[in-house]
Structure 1
Amino acid sequence: MRDADPRVVLGLHRSRHERRLLTGALDLGVTAIDTSTNYLGFRSHEVLARTAGDLLPKFRLSTKVGYFPAPDGAEHSLAPQRLYVAVEQAARDLGREPDVVFLHNPEHSLHEGAAHSRDALAQACAALEEATSNGLCGAWGVASWNPSPLPSLIDTTTPRPSAFMVRAGLLVGIRTLDAADAATAAWGLNGSMVWGMSPFGGSANAPVWDRIGSRVFLRDSTGLSPVQAAFRAAYELPKVGTVAVGTDNPAHLSDLIDALAGKVNERTIEEYRNLLRARLLGQPA
């Protein structure tokens, strides 16, 4: 069994929630898992408690609230009372208080003007802050697939999260990267408080990873595959301290952990961001 490495979180977005995956993760030193109320058709918490309830105390467990069952599948809400009740329900369904609860994709309900959106975000964050103060979870954060609306809405009335989760990796556009950096700065968070997610844009088996020369982002990529190099680079795009990655294959998880030994070429990372920005602005590379 390897020593625990806090830089990797096992994400359960597309996972089958099999017990063997959780035991395999523990054997590899991955002691954090991330899920959401709406994963597995809103059954993730119940399935985890039923199939691996005895294992959950061994993990640092994070989940998300913001999506709710609806006749057409799901609806999103930032209503403070609904969010608070969702955190209560998560603790009951899991059989334990989550270590972190994220406000899930708040941008999905921020469409009614700056003043309304600013108040809605602040009140939603306050609901999670209250849930944390009342012992329903260990800490709270914000998880955003598209953080672009957030920086302009964060001010002194917006509670400060303990963690901020955003997309990370070579497939993330410069708008998202810049917005993630701006929101991180607006909240006064350091890099260790920022989490990356979806480092392969949905699949590490996609053909794009055979075409991208991802090893160029490392100073010494000897022995690392393109997928491993891409995973290591994801910690710099944007700068994050932890990456949540999904897989149902412990061997794949092991390969990603091995990739953490790679040393990033900071100059190449910066040049890449400059190229993305120049492309957005229509400037020559």
Structure 2
Amino acid sequence: MTVQLGLGTYRCPDVERAAALAAAHAADWIDTAPNYDRGRAEAALFQVLGDNPQIKVSTKVGFVPRLLRDRAVKDGVLTGAEADSGHNLTAAYVAWQIERSWRALGRVPDVVFLHNPEHHCEPHRIRERLYIAFAALEEACAHRLIHAYGVATWNGFSHGVFNVPLLVDLATRAGGPQHHLRAVQLPLSVVKLSAIAEALDGGGVLAEAQAAGLDVFASAPLHGGEVPKLVTPELAELIRPGSSPMQAGLAVVASAPGVRRVLLSTGNTGHWTDAAATVNGQQLSEAVMRRVVDVLGT
């Protein structure tokens, strides 16, 4: 499987600049969300996406940006209490946010991720929440407001709140055998190695996603800048001789079974070119990956 480097806009201080940089270096994907950059990230991508129709874009629904809370209440899609909670996945809000997203982006999103659907959700209610949201997303697909959807989570898989078979089952219930569930997004790094370790043994979320034909988007591959501090020069040399700690950390994520895209948040040209060369380079062997897990644990 060919792994691609995409731009993740979560931690970008200047989203438009980072997107222009990614476009100039042949990135094929930009990932964003309505609540990124204090609610301005989607609009910041409008010009770059318009100038680069070859780049695909994913956004999210779930968190309620502060800038939009009053508008959501005024439009009748959320109550005041729902807006103040900061997160919502009711059918009305999902449909409302999708329409706002494609207007802000200037195009139909290629994928809309449910953003941390486990957020403030009691475990026994997660099935209902997911099904309602999936049904709304299938409706959006039917009206060509989005092309596909997925689930982006920080803890949902690692905490056992849901798994890929459950997501596929609910998507099939919502959209039939030809449902539009296409991807999952989760943090993968040398700080969060559990999913990678499980995949090396043929199990866990990455293996389940592969079996279901879902693309895996790896978010936070540098774990907010912690990875270059964690990876010693000796470990970097073990992972890939001649690599910097950053490059070594990215190589591990890009070599994880089932990963389709690695999302990096950067507006730095040097960081982007180094990362692209690493992600697009030869994958690490299983033996090296297992040594990394042995050294760092899960």
- Per the TM superposition, whether the score is higher than 0.5 is yes
**Is 1:127 matched with 2:136?**
yes
CA–CA separation in structure 2 for the residues paired with 1:74 and 1:38: 14
CA distance in 1, matches of 2:275, 2:167: 37
1: CA distance between counterparts of 2:17 and 2:274?
A: 17
Instruction: For 2:24, give the aligned amino acid.
Output: D
Matched positions, count: 267
Contact between 1:100 and 1:137, CA under 8 Å: does it hold in 2?
A: yes
Q: Which moved more, 1:70-79 or 1:55-64?
A: 70-79
* CA–CA separation in structure 1 for the residues paired with 2:19 and 2:65: 27
**Is 1:213 paired with 2:238?**
no
- Flag the structure with higher helix content: 2
Shift of 1:183: 7.3
Q: What is the identity, as a one-letter code, of the residue corresponding to 1:8?
A: L
Change (3 A) 1:271 1:6: closer
1:236 is displaced (CA, Å) by: 3.6
**Which residue in 2 is equivalent to 1:283?**
none
C-alpha change, 1:214 and 1:123, in structure 2 (3 Å) is farther
Aligned to 2:22: 25
- Secondary structure class of the residue paired with 1:103: strand
Give the superposition deviation at 1:226: 2.2
**CA distance in structure 2 between the partners assigned to 1:258 and 1:162 by the alignment:** 26
Q: Deviations over 1:127-150 (max 9, x none)?
A: 212212211111111111112311
Matches within 5 A, 1:239-254: 239-254=258-273
Distance in structure 2 (CA, Å) of the matches to 1:248 and 1:183: 29
2:109 aligned partner: 98
- In structure 2, what is the Cα distance between the partners aligned to 1:152 and 1:29? 31
Distance 1:157 1:210 in 2: 43
Of 189, 202, 212, which residue of structure 2 is paired with 1:169? 189
Partners of 1:169 and 1:238 within 8 A in 2 = no
Tell me whether 14-23 or 95-104 shows the greater mean CA deviation: 14-23
1:204/1:32 Cα in 2 relative to 1: closer, same or farther (>3 Å)?
A: farther
Deviations 1:99-156 (A, max 9, x none): 1111111111431x42x22121122122212212211111111111112311298166
Counterparts in 2 of 1:212 and 1:238: CA distance versus 1, 3 Å: farther
Contact 1:164 1:184 in 2 (8 A): no
1:195 equivalent in alignment to 2:217:
yes
**Residue aligning to 2:176:** none
The reply on whether 1:63 has 2:72 as its aligned counterpart is no
1:60-100 Cα shifts (integer Å, max 9, x gaps) = 11111110035798711221221121111101111211111
With a CA cutoff of 8 Å and minimum separation of 6, indicate the structure with the bigger relative contact order: 2
- SS across alignment from 1:241: strand
Preserved CA contact (<8 Å) 1:118 1:153? no
- In 2: Cα distance, 1:206 partner to 1:241 partner: 22
Matches of 1:81 and 1:183, distance apart in 2: 31
Mapped contact 2:228–2:246 kept (Cα < 8 A)? no
SS at match of 1:30: coil
CA contact (8 A) 2:112 2:148 kept: yes
1:253-268 alignment, distance < 5 Å:
253-259=272-278, 260-268=280-288
Name the % identity. Answer: 27
How far is the alpha carbon of 1:46 from its aligned partner? 1.9
Task: Trace 1:266-277 onto structure 2 (pairs within 5 A).
Answer: 266-273=286-293
Q: In the aligned structure 2, how far is the partner of 1:252 from the partner of 1:47? A: 21
Q: Tell me, in whole angstroms, the C-alpha distance in 1 between the residues paired with 2:282 and 2:65.
A: 42
Match of 1:151 in 2: 163
Q: AA paired with 1:185?
A: E
Alpha-carbon distance in 2 for matches of 1:207, 1:183: 26
Structure 1 unmatched runs, 5+: 281-285
User: What is the CA-CA distance between 1:157 and the residue it aligns to?
Assistant: 4.3
- Report Cα offsets for 1:217-249 as digits up to 9, x if no partner: 34xx3x422211210111244641211111011
Say yes or no: does 1:12 pair with 2:9: yes
Partners of 1:152 and 1:195 in 2: CA distance: 14
- Contact in 1 for aligned 2:134/2:171 (Cα 8 Å): yes
User: What is the deviation of 1:178?
Assistant: 4.7
Among 69, 92, 99, the residue aligned to 1:81: 92
- Residue 235 of structure 1: aligned partner: 254
Contact 1:6 1:30 in 2 (8 A): no
